[in-house]
Amino acid sequence: MNRFISSIVLVLLFAAQASAQVMAQTPPAGAPSQPSSPYYPAPPPQQAPTVQQGVPTTGLSSPLPGTQKVDRTEIAADTEAQLFADARKIVWGRYAKIKGAKSGDVIVTRQGNLWTIKGRIDSVAPGTEGDWASIDGVVERISAGVVQVRGEVAFRVAKVEKGTPCKVAGTLTFRRSGKSQVWRLAEGDNPCDGTREAFDLVYEKPVERKPVPTQPKRG
């Protein structure tokens, strides 16, 4: 009797296993047929693929030489130095041709043997309000037609990197040719969108004040 019951149980187990295999291999109604394969369906991955995070847009700078302290400005051309001492304006080529554009201000300061430079231009041309460019650094060397500044120039343009200032930094070279009164930044390509910014420092002749003649005293 016990053997008979055991045989029935075994038969039911085999039937259940066979039914389960058929159900596993039978696709649901309307599903495309898929050939049987030991690799289908694929097992889930043990770890989700890693996602490379974007580089932050803060503190952007160009791959120029590293920083080193400058404690003395080398003057290789006195005439160029006298001219550059009177650099007073900044012209930003990106917006210079827009009606209503104005120049910015820059100051060259001599502190003993070291020259420094600092300036900024705020765009006021229609549609560009809020954009600006700036320079901050020390003058490393002045030679004929060339002024080298160690520092940074930043450009803030609303439509570029959502308004994050884009910078070029390190040794910056300003060149002047012939009788021009403009020094243009050689590394003036915006590192964020590649635009040639045409960042210029402009000489402005000092106003000569003539002495007022003394009036004779009336008797």
Position 133 in a domain = yes
What is the radius of gyration, based on Cα positions, of the chain?
Answer: 37
Position 56 in a domain = no
108-132 confidence digits (pLDDT tens) = 999 999 999 999 999 998 889 999 9
Report phi then psi at 33, rounded to 5.
Answer: -70, 145
Position 105 in a domain = yes
Report how many domains make up the chain: 1
Query: Can you tell me whether residue 28 is helix, strand or coil?
Result: coil
Query: Can you tell me whether residue 217 is helix, strand or coil?
Result: coil
Both tokens assigned to 25 = 């291999």
Position 168 in a domain = no
Reported for 180-189, long-range contacts at CB under 8 A and 24+ positions apart, including other chains, are: 181/83, 182/91, 183/84, 183/87, 183/147, 185/153, 187/62, 187/64, 187/153, 188/153
Residue 182 pLDDT class (50, 70, 90 cuts): very high
Peptide bond preceding 32 in cis form (omega within 30 of 0): no
Position 42 in a domain = no
37-49 confidence digits (pLDDT tens) = 454 455 555 655 5
Position 146 in a domain = no
Is the pLDDT at 159 greater than 70, yes or no? yes
Position 39 in a domain = no
Position 186 in a domain = yes
Q: How far is CA 210 from the centre of its chain?
A: 47
**Domain limits at 100?**
91-138+178-206
